[in-house]
């Protein structure tokens, strides 16, 4: 029976090597750089009128999602996990996307139709 | 071998639960699923905040509400203090990955060092958040409280923009969402301390692996991840 005594415990640390130190600092550099870009937009580009607040908001959201990608993919190691786990964790957000569309449409409707009466 | 011990036997076939799904250890999968559910909770809070902002004609301007560096200057430095907070949290995320990396090499000493650094980062962030809350509270914002209409003019881009309802929604949602996030940071620090003590005690050394460090690491990065979104939607947009 001894050959059957593998427990799931043992699979754990055979998975894969972690990130190298160099890669960790590279990701840190990218996150810092994106944050610095956000600050430049907020403190220079928008006040000087080079970028509108409206357009800036879209840029912020794109940069935020990019930061989220780097944190989840590298720091949380998801990039190196099996496809099944990656899909289970990301496809679920379809509900959140639906909820965002739903609630912002609702908010926009209230803005248009309730405030002017 | 009697019948009972046969039942106790861990089944090893792939379809009998003998394999760890996706070759990820059980506790780690459960941590991922917990974080997914937690992400849904945070999303709901932030989406409600978004819906409120969409429904109002005006909203307090972040550059005017958050423009002080406590102890340095009261006005005229928008985003600087929150920038420091963001830097602290990203930095503590880095020290956390370094702790995980040291754990892979089973270097107990390095894990201890990086865990201590992460805990210090967590406390620094909580300290900054306490200062931020105190500052906003002194301005007159709190759950169910806003400054007078006259004072509110300082927090909107144009004096005629002042909206009492928008200000109240802003105050309630700011304290609820950053409070919920701060509570996560606080529990993260507590869990990190527990893991640090276990590391010092040599628990993981005896166990032969530092998977627990990876699991708290996932939680800690998630807290950082949520802050990235809170930062964008409260301070930038």
- B131 inside domain: yes
pLDDT at B69 over 80: yes
- Per-residue confidence (pLDDT) for residue A104, from 0 to 100: 94
Minimal Cα–Cα distance from B198 to chain A, Å? 18
- Closest chain B CA to residue A33: B87
Domain count, chain B: 1
Candidates A1, A79, A102; CA nearest to B47 is: A102
- How many Cα atoms occupy the beta-carbon half-sphere of B111 within 13 Å? 30
- Domain of residue A88 covers 81-117
Predicted local distance difference test score (pLDDT) of residue A4 = 41
A95 shares a domain with A117:
yes
More confident residue, B25 or B121: B121
Provide ipTM, 2 decimals: 0.88
Question: Exposure pattern of B66-90 as b/e (b: 16+ CB <10 Å)?
Answer: bbbbeeeeeeeebbbbbbebbebbb
At B70 the pLDDT is: 83
A9 vs B64, higher pLDDT: B64
Which of B232, B89, B125 has its CA nearest to residue A39? B232
Burial (Cβ within 10 Å: 0-12, 13-18, ≥19) of residue A107: buried
Q: What is the pLDDT of residue B19?
A: 76
- Closest residue on chain B to A67 (Cα): B228
Q: Which residue, among B215, B189, B188, has the nearest Cα to B204 in the 3D structure?
A: B215
- Residue A14: φ, ψ to 5°: -90, -10
The answer to whether the Cβ–Cβ distance between B51 and A9 falls below 8 Å is: no
Whether the per-residue pLDDT at B148 is higher than 50: the answer is yes
Number of domains into which chain A is organized: 2
pLDDT tens by residue, A2-19: 334 344 444 444 445 568
Question: Which of A13, A82, A107 comes nearest B52 by C-beta?
Answer: A107
Domain assignment present for residue B32? The answer is yes
For B52, the closest chain A residue by CA position comes to A107
State the Cα–Cα distance between residues B227 and B75, nearest whole angstrom.
24
pLDDT digits (tens, 9 = 90+) for A26-59: 999 999 999 999 999 999 999 999 999 999 999 9
Task: Tell me, yes or no, whether B145 lies in a domain.
Answer: yes
A13–B209 CB contact, under 8 Å: yes
Does the beta-carbon distance from B225 to A71 stay under 8 Å?
yes
Residue B68 confidence (pLDDT): 87
| Whole-number pLDDT of residue B152 | 94
Q: What is the pLDDT of residue A2?
A: 38
Handedness of CA B79, B83, B84, B85 (dihedral sign): positive
**pLDDT tier, A1 (very low <50, low <70, confident <90, very high otherwise):** very low
Q: Which residue on chain A is closest to B41 by alpha carbon? A: A96
Helices marked H in chain B — which ranges? 3-8, 26-55, 62-65, 80-104, 108-139, 149-152, 164-200, 203-207, 211-230
Residues A69 and A86 in one domain: no
A37 token code pair: 């870009």
Angle between helical axes of B211-230 and B26-55 (0-180°, round to 10): 10
The chain B residue lying nearest A16, using CA atoms, is B104
Considering only CB atoms, which chain A residues are within 8 Å of B79?
39, 42-43
Name the residue range of residue B37's domain: 22-236
* Domain-embedded: residue A66: yes
Same-domain check for residues A75 and A33: yes
DSSP codes of every residue in chain A? -GGG---HHHHHTTS-----HHHHHHHHHHHHHHHHHHHHIIIIITTTTSS-HHHHHHHHHHHHHHHHHHIIIIIS-GGGS-HHHHHHHHHTTHHHHHHHHHHHHHHHHHHHHTTT-
What residues 17-76 of chain B have any CB closer than 8 A to a CB of chain A? 18-26, 28-29, 32, 36, 39-40, 43-44, 47-48, 50-57, 63
- Picking from B2, B17, B24 by the largest number of A CB atoms within 10 A of its own CB, the best residue to mutate is B24
Which residues on chain B are in Cβ contact (under 8 Å) with A28?
A: 90-91, 94
B33 occurs within a structural domain: yes
Structural domain includes residue B52? yes
Closest residue to B25, CB basis, from A12, A93, A114: A12
Pair A25, A36 in one domain: yes
% of residues, chain B, pLDDT over 90:
80
Of residues B187, B226, B183, B215, the one with CA closest to residue B90: B226
Which CATH number belongs to the domain containing residue B179 in this structure? 1.20.120.80
Whether pLDDT at B130 is above 90: yes
Can you give the pTM of this predicted structure? 0.89
Q: Which residues of A touch B98 (CB under 8 A)?
A: 21, 24
Residue B140 phi, psi dihedral angles, 5° rounding: 110, 0
Residues of B in contact with A42 (CB under 8 A): 63, 78-79, 236
Write out pLDDT tens, residues A81-109. Answer: 999 999 999 999 999 999 999 999 999 99
Residue A75 lies in a domain: yes
CB contact under 8 Å between B23 and A111, yes or no, is no
């Amino acid at each position: 029976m001894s050959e059957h005594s593998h427990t799931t415990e043992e699979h754990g640390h055979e998975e894969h090597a972690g990130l190298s130190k160099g890669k960790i600092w590279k990701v840190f550099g990218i996150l810092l750089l994106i944050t610095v870009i956000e600050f430049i937009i907020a403190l220079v580009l928008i006040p000087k009128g080079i970028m509108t607040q409206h357009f800036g908001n879209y840029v912020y959201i794109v940069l935020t999602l990019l930061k989220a990608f780097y944190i989840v993919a590298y720091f949380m190691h998801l990039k190196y996990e099996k496809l099944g786990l990656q899909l289970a964790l990301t496809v679920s957000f379809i509900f959140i996307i639906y909820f965002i569309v739903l609630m912002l449409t609702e908010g926009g409707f209230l803005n248009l139709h309730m405030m002017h009466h | 071998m009697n019948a009972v011990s046969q039942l106790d036997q861990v089944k090893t076939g792939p379809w009998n639960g003998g394999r760890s799904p996706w070759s990820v250890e059980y506790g780690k999968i459960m941590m991922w699923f917990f974080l997914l559910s937690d992400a849904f909770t945070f999303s709901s809070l932030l989406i409600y905040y978004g819906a409120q902002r969409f429904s109002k004609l005006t909203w307090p301007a972040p550059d005017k509400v958050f423009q002080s560096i406590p102890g340095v200057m009261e006005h005229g430095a928008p985003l600087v203090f929150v920038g420091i907070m963001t830097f602290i949290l990203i930095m503590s995320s880095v020290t956390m990955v370094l702790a995980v990396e040291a754990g892979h090499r089973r270097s107990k000493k390095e894990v201890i060092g990086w865990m201590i650094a992460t805990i210090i980062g967590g406390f620094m962030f909580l300290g900054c958040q306490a200062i931020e809350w105190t500052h906003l509270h002194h301005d007159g914002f709190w759950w169910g409280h806003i400054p007078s209409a006259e004072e509110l003019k300082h927090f909107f881009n144009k004096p005629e923009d002042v909206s009492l309802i928008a200000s109240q929604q802003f105050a309630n949602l700011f304290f609820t969402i950053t409070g919920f996030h701060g509570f996560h940071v606080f529990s993260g620090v507590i869990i990190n301390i527990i893991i640090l003590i276990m590391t010092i005690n040599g628990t993981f050394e005896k166990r032969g692996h530092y998977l627990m460090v990876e699991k708290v690491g996932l939680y800690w990065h998630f807290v950082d991840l949520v802050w990235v979104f809170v930062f964008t939607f409260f301070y930038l947009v």
